[in-house]
Chains A and B, each alone.
Chain A
């Protein structure tokens, strides 16, 4: 096979295949953000809460995951964690590659979202909390109706930036061979011996999507800071 020149034909030819990969990437991103946000908020509430033991546990969790490379976390959840139920209860549990990687992402990103949420919650003025208490709101009402809505608003730009980071991080599922966008392109690249075309295409697609998202985030930021 001749391999000189830049073959655009192969790129157009593999669009349906790549689109399928992109779908998986987006799915992983959205589910990862959703799960990470929920879990991260819970962690942040634990960290700022009254119970010392819970706060300590959440703090340890965050520091633990923040000092590990994402690849190692993915390896843990892909190769070893599915064995744990078998070890403990002798149960046979089938965990698909997608599920284990998704759990790895949620656990990992939750540590980062927790730090963002913590900063967000702390950015809400204490007076707001006191006012809520004065109105006779319970802790839960105070959090859900007063503190968290404001915290989310303050944190939207940073949360969005972290979402872009997560979108880029999903490319790492390459290491366990889950066919996301990058891995699909890699399959085409290697089978057709068109590494240059495919990798450049991948880079351009990621770049345009991330730049667009960043542009939107920046506009959002302006809108929020004007208020």
Chain B
């Protein structure tokens, strides 16, 4: 059997329906629509991942005990087991331990389950576990259920990655900075707000960029629950027109293009916000 592949790049731009060539729509628009869904999922997920991840990352750097006074009788059992000091009717609890542990558990769970499995859990299992009314609402009334599920799943998953970067960034700052800040009388919150975080976030711009690109690439998993993002669209074009090479090449070029744009943009940002003498800080 003679096999030939009819290269037809024009198929991507055809507008007239034509069963002979396999054109059933303006594929070019399909691709653009797919790309916009991809970007929408990725950016919405990043809006969740970045603040949440930063929060957990900061929690994981607390190494000094934070003592809180808790009424003894009312405090839950896990507080009582962690009591550091007791006095009449009250206990002192090291809340840092608790926050630290909470952030650690979060990161461990979200990093050790494959993203695709997480996506299925959110999409198929999560609505079942909710109380009836809420479950019904998620299943029936939530607008764009696939889209929001993908966004939340990807956002929470990526937050665990961001948390690792933020923690590493803060820990890479030499201890002297923190002690100096404390010595001039800043409160712990101020130490983070004015000394540690401004430096840490600058240091972690490159790994954060690759994390964001990870979110952008991982958004292609959303096709498994039916979000018609870029990869899903090209797959669909391949099915309708049998012009797989053209469609997949277009998607590949777009993915590489967006990646390149983001990387160049972030390099500019990195240059803009650089603190003079930063290199020495990084090298410690």
Contact = CB atoms under 8 A, between A and B. Distances in A.
Given A203-B113, A206-B113, A75 B248 contact: yes
A188 to B, nearest CB: 13
A174 B129 CA distance: 25
Interface of A is mostly: helix
Interface of A: 64, 67-72, 75-76, 79-80, 83, 86-87, 90, 92, 164, 168-169, 171-172, 174-175, 182, 186, 195-196, 199-200, 202-203, 206-207, 210-211, 214
A87 B5 contact: yes
Nearest to B251: A72
Nearest to A200: B125
Interface of B is mostly: helix
Interface residues of B, number: 42
B217 A69 contact: yes
Contacts of A83: 3, 5
B96 interface: no
Contacts of A90: 2-3
A211 B108 contact: yes
Given A68-B217, A90-B2, A175-B223, A80 B244 contact: yes
Contacts of A71: 220-221, 223, 231
Contacts of A207: 109, 112-113
B124 interface: yes
A57 to B, nearest CB: 16
B259 A203 contact: no
Contact of B121 (A72, A203, A210, A211): A203
Contact of A211 (B112, B218, B244, B256): B112
B235 interface: yes
A22 to B, nearest CB: 13
A69 B218 contact: yes
Given A71-B231, A72-B252, A80-B248, A199 B218 contact: no
B124 A174 contact: no
A97 B162 CA distance: 35
Contacts of A210: 111-113
Which of A64, A75, A169 has its CB near the most chain B CB atoms (within 10 A)?
A75
A69 B258 CA distance: 12
Contacts of A86: 3
Contacts of B220: 69-72
